[in-house]
Chain A
Amino acid sequence: MLTSNKISSLVVDTLREQTRGQNIVVLSLYCDYQAQRDQSVVNMIGGLLRQVVLGAPSVPGEIKSAFDESKRGGGQGLRLQEILKLFVKTINSIGLVYICVDAVDEVWRQHRSEFLRALRQVIQDAPNVRLFITGRPYIRGELDKHLTKGAYIIHIAADQGDIRRYLSQKIDDDDDQDPGLMTEDLKNDIMKTILEKASDMWVGAALLLIRVTN
């Protein structure tokens, strides 16, 4: 199904494809409510910076210096303002940096405002950054307050093609579990019925019904 993380990964891959060979970097961050404990704001900005290191031919000088300094001071981790400054400084020499943040609504509630403010600081301090962000509708007010006022907006809803692809895949997966039970006719019937009658909201319920009645 059309989950936001699939859209985000598609955007990341497409941007990478389109900008290959240019002085452009595409960074991704997938927020996950199951990993909230590790997803502190420092760790999330650090996760972005980590990808810059990973993609660079050698560790950028600014990061190396900060690491060495930290080691001399007993291995302390960076504080938020320090890592934000380091991030902006490190990407300064890159022509364009796309940052794709998926499911911002899954960031721990106590960290969310701070995270959104941190992202705002990044786009304010680094004019070479473009930010792609996904989230549930209820988060819009909070996002507008901190970050996205005047931003481009797209409403994600599964179109018929997406639902068709998804259904087909899931029916095939299910057939793999109990081979032979699903005939081509039955598959077509299921697809037709669901596509005619179900909004994307109810595809899951329809699938459950089919499973039970079968």
Chain B
Amino acid sequence: MRSPSTSLINCLLIYHHLTWYRTLSSMNISPTGNGGLGPRNDPYQDRISDTCIGYRTTNIIHGDSNANVGNVSNSYNKIINVGIHDESFQIQAWLSPLEPHKRHQDVRNRRLDGIGEWVLRRSEFESWRRGQDGSANPTLFCYGGQGVGKTYIRYRVPIFSRNSGQC
């Protein structure tokens, strides 16, 4: 019969394998409200897979290599070989569960070449961008009517193109 500590090590190994695999599959670590693995309301969960590690209660930090498994001891509170990248991920997830950089990538992938470039040529845009006048207003507001908005696009897309996704 196995001793309790061996069972614990095995549990930790399985847990670590699982979370390591999920980390690799998404490279996305976010804190959860309940501090552990669990459902999370992610704005972009249809586009990215979901990994939730709460450092607060599990107190397990990922290594980025499978070799780290060898460092697991029978103490639940031992930290596994913390790498600098893991810390950056942890801090990012602590700052916000939102990932605007991923959303940006998603939008730009669906942008057609040349579309909207006239905006960049407007004098208001250039003045705002350069801000040469020290007293210049730091804000540029672009507004568009219902006809160019997201609701309109969402309504239309399924009718004409079944695979084109969101606006």
Count residues of A near B (Cβ-Cβ below 8 Å). Answer: 97
Contact across chains for A67 and B94 when beta carbons are under 8 A apart: yes
Contact across chains for B148 and A2 when beta carbons are under 8 A apart: yes
Contact across chains for B107 and A8 when beta carbons are under 8 A apart: yes
Contact across chains for A154 and B100 when beta carbons are under 8 A apart: no
Contact across chains for A152 and B111 when beta carbons are under 8 A apart: no
Contact across chains for A130 and B88 when beta carbons are under 8 A apart: no
Chain A residues close to B by CB (< 8 Å) = 1-15, 18, 27-30, 32, 34-35, 37-39, 42-51, 53-54, 58-59, 63-64, 67, 70-71, 74-75, 77-78, 83, 103, 106, 123, 127, 129-137, 139-140, 143, 147-148, 150-159, 161-162, 165-166, 169-170, 173-174, 176-177, 199-204, 207-208, 211
Give me 12 other A-B pairs in contact (C-beta within 8 A), A7-B142, A130-B139, A132-B142 excluded. Answer: A3-B150, A3-B167, A27-B100, A29-B100, A38-B41, A45-B96, A77-B94, A134-B143, A152-B139, A153-B141, A155-B143, A156-B143
Chain B residues close to A by CB (< 8 Å) = 31, 35, 41-44, 55-56, 84, 87-88, 90-92, 94-101, 103-104, 107-108, 110-120, 122, 124-125, 127-129, 131, 137-150, 152-153, 155-156, 159-164, 167
CB-nearest residue of chain A relative to B156? Answer: A204
**Residues in B neighbouring A158, C-beta threshold 8 A:** 147-148
Contact across chains for A131 and B116 when beta carbons are under 8 A apart: no
Can you pick out 14 interface pairs between chain A and chain B where the beta carbons lie within 8 Å of each other?
A1-B148, A3-B148, A7-B116, A11-B120, A12-B104, A29-B98, A47-B99, A54-B92, A59-B87, A133-B142, A152-B141, A154-B143, A157-B148, A159-B118
Find B138's partner among A50, A123, A139, A173 (CB 8 Å cutoff): A123
Given the contacts A48-B100, A74-B56, A10 and B120 also touching, CB distance less than 8 Å = yes
